[in-house]
Chains A and B, each alone.
Chain A
């Protein structure tokens, strides 16, 4: 008796060599080679939340006779402009961290991440300051509501980015946690930060410039 009812002859021939290309990943570990790919999928999903909100904003704008509705105070451009510059330049700063880790320079990563995080925090402070000095509130009118929801939702993403950077900084204290070969956390935080940046640019054009 063969003992096995597995009829491998019928449809497969088992390869003699073992798993060399990562097919052997265990149930316990996320597949290392595909995490960046998965991250891009996640960005697709995230983009569609924002695209949905943008589309809603544009529709409101199109169907409302006067936009922004009568009596909405003008938006100040200076502060958000500076804020945008801070956020955009921070994307270049965080990129330095990737260059650094490719050289196995963990100290460099810590430096660039700390600067980026500080710039992100500054952005949030700036946004808080702007909120505090705006002459309309969340419920003033349709423009005000969408303004706060959109910028607030983006702000939440910035805050989450700070958490990500914090956790990279925390882990990097451990010797050898990150290296040129093992740098997913750093790359992920960086890509996420670029993503948040791009969203801000679109948001800024939509809310302040259009």
Chain B
């Protein structure tokens, strides 16, 4: 051990968790790694809360009659369920947690561009969330007009609940905008020397695209909510037809945010999946540039398709035609990604651990949601299934089967890096099986319910749908149970799991060059890239311009 004298200490030799270390997670800390974990844990707690609300919804729907909760409470349950899942779980977990934790590590810098702003953005989340939940405890109850909060309905339910809803969405939206400013500046300005846009890891591309969407679309939602709150409180009738206003303008403004929002929720996960698949397939990513630029294409197209949510809102026929075609075009860049992922794992040496299982689950479930998406994009079909359970099925295949599966995959993949401990694989696989089974049991039958005409957002339904709804509810209980093995596994392994090496998966991106967990200031000096992020099986880098090419080419598949 004489050499310890001459070489600098590395993280593993330092006492790993000095006493009281956990306390930093409860402070205004500006370290992006701390903030990332704060986001992840906070949003996961809200995921559990949103899940509890969903279980309430499914308990009510297990039988055709209104029995478990009142109609009023039922409306509050699904409204707050969706709001929590979107604004307090998927958006902060996808962009906030992984964006913050990973971007500086992947880009080779020490922190985000604006660490203090970053901490401020995070600390808006807990008050925003608590505010929203508090509305259950006031007399009139929580907002009950759906997460879309369409006027005039949203002006007719309890005023206080609606106001709280507006305020908390404004707070959470602001937090998300501040985050996006940070992400964009960091990606554009802080890449380690030698890292060009065209060789940065794909997650950075995805965050770049998602941040643009946040920056451009979230403010429009804020504008809509400001006008809505005037209608609610000051007696104006901007959106109220009985006073000369126009509710359809609200819908336009709302969906100008909320359609891009679905990409804000899926793009970061597209990014992490593009990182996870090559590592566990031991192959270079297929179609790096295609995946990278399709993210930009998605964010551009995502801004011009919003009225596909309004095919039945009196949108003129010619406009519906435009939005229908534009919407269907989005399937192209999305398909490019899916095929590139498939080609990446094709013929790879797959490591079927929990991260990879969830990643492959993501690809397959998301494709189902993408297909039903193209179906509802076509006007004649959508006129039949709009506001039925078919839409509920679609959105859960993309948001749960997509975003949530992807987030789980990302948690398993980076758990060793974040905590310095390995997570138990057996329990991870049990978690995966339970999630996959529960998810499909819960949401696959909803396609059928929707086609048969069962409307969404109603507490009671025609008895002919009873059996299928019971099946859906059972699926939801399995989903609820599935979080238990995950939670126990994560908590136990975080505290006393096997110590993680720096690079347990033999990954090539920069975060794996650091100890697990990374030292406080990440890189002692700016890292110099010697290989590309996905050069698996590539002996040496053939000049910085060449990108590694997957062994599989399109012609291989075609000639087979």
- Chain A residues with a Cβ under 8 A of chain B: 3-8, 10-19, 21, 23-31, 33-35, 37-38, 41-42, 44-53, 55-56, 59-60, 63-64, 69, 138-139, 141-142, 145-146, 149, 153
Contact = CB atoms under 8 A, between A and B. Distances in A.
B516 to A, nearest CB: 8
B222 interface: yes
A41 B189 CA distance: 13
A63 B115 CA distance: 46
B318 to A, nearest CB: 15
B227 interface: yes
A21 B226 CA distance: 42
Given A10-B513, A18-B525, A138-B234, A53 B223 contact: yes
Contact of A37 (B185, B238, B243, B509): B185
B7 to A, nearest CB: 8
Contacts of B215: 41, 44-45, 48
B246 A29 contact: no
Contacts of A14: 524-525, 527-528
B529 A11 contact: yes
B528 A27 contact: no
A48 B303 CA distance: 13
A30 B113 contact: yes
A34 B187 CA distance: 11
B255 to A, nearest CB: 12
A146 B256 CA distance: 19
A49 B220 contact: yes
A55 B531 CA distance: 48
Contacts of B111: 25-27
Contacts of A11: 508-510, 512-513, 529-531
Contact of B508 (A10, A18, A45, A142): A10
B223 A49 contact: yes
A52 B215 CA distance: 13
B216 to A, nearest CB: 5
A126 B181 CA distance: 35
B114 interface: yes
Given A5-B515, A30-B116, A30-B117, A15 B528 contact: yes
A55 B252 CA distance: 10
Contacts of B193: 21
Contact of A64 (B30, B244, B510): B244
B253 A56 contact: yes
B190 interface: yes
A15 B527 CA distance: 6
Interface of B: 4, 7, 10-13, 29-32, 109-111, 113-117, 177, 180-182, 184-185, 188-190, 192-193, 215-220, 222-224, 226-227, 230, 234-238, 243-246, 249, 252-253, 256, 501-503, 508-510, 512-515, 520-521, 523-531
28 contacts: A4-B12, A4-B13, A4-B502, A5-B501, A8-B513, A11-B531, A14-B528, A17-B525, A21-B193, A23-B190, A27-B110, A29-B116, A34-B185, A37-B188, A41-B180, A41-B215, A42-B181, A44-B215, A46-B219, A48-B220, A50-B223, A56-B238, A56-B252, A60-B249, A64-B244, A139-B236, A145-B238, A146-B238
A3 B217 contact: no
B515 A52 contact: no
Contact of B223 (A12, A56, A142, A145): A56
A53 B7 CA distance: 61
Contacts of A5: 12, 501-503, 515
A99 B405 CA distance: 55
Contact of A7 (B113, B220, B503): B503
Contacts of A12: 510, 513, 527-530
A154 B248 CA distance: 24
A5 B30 CA distance: 27
A14 B111 CA distance: 18
A28 B181 contact: no
A55 to B, nearest CB: 8
Contacts of A50: 223
Nearest to A42: B181
Contact of B252 (A4, A21, A49, A59): A59
Q: Which of A16, A138, A145 has the most CB of B within 10 A?
A: A145
Contacts of B236: 138-139, 145, 149
Nearest to B183: A41
A91 to B, nearest CB: 23
Nearest to B532: A11
Contacts of B12: 3-5
A97 B30 CA distance: 33
A13 B524 CA distance: 12
A5 B502 CA distance: 6
A60 B513 contact: no
Contacts of A24: 110
Contacts of A4: 10, 12-13, 502, 515
A44 B215 CA distance: 7
Contacts of B115: 27-30
Contacts of B246: 59-60, 63-64, 142
Pairs A-B, 6 closest by C-beta atoms: A52-B220, A52-B223, A48-B219, A145-B236, A49-B219, A4-B10
B344 to A, nearest CB: 19
B114 A6 contact: no
A116 B298 CA distance: 44
Q: Which of A11, A15, A26, A63 has the most CB of B within 10 A?
A: A11
Contacts of B218: 45, 48
Given A6-B513, A11-B531, A34-B113, A51 B238 contact: no
B514 A6 contact: yes
Contact of A56 (B10, B110, B227, B530): B227
B246 to A, nearest CB: 6
A31 B114 contact: yes
Nearest to B508: A11
A28 B184 CA distance: 19
A52 B219 CA distance: 8
Given A12-B528, A28-B115, A34-B114, A45 B181 contact: yes
Nearest to B234: A138
Contacts of B514: 6
A153 B224 CA distance: 13
Given A28-B30, A52-B220, A13 B528 contact: yes
A146 B243 CA distance: 13
Nearest to B220: A52
A23 B536 CA distance: 28
A6 B502 contact: yes
Given A7-B502, A149-B226, 8 more contacts: A24-B110, A41-B215, A45-B177, A52-B224, A56-B223, A56-B238, A63-B249, A146-B238
Contacts of A3: 4, 7, 10, 12-13
B503 A23 contact: no
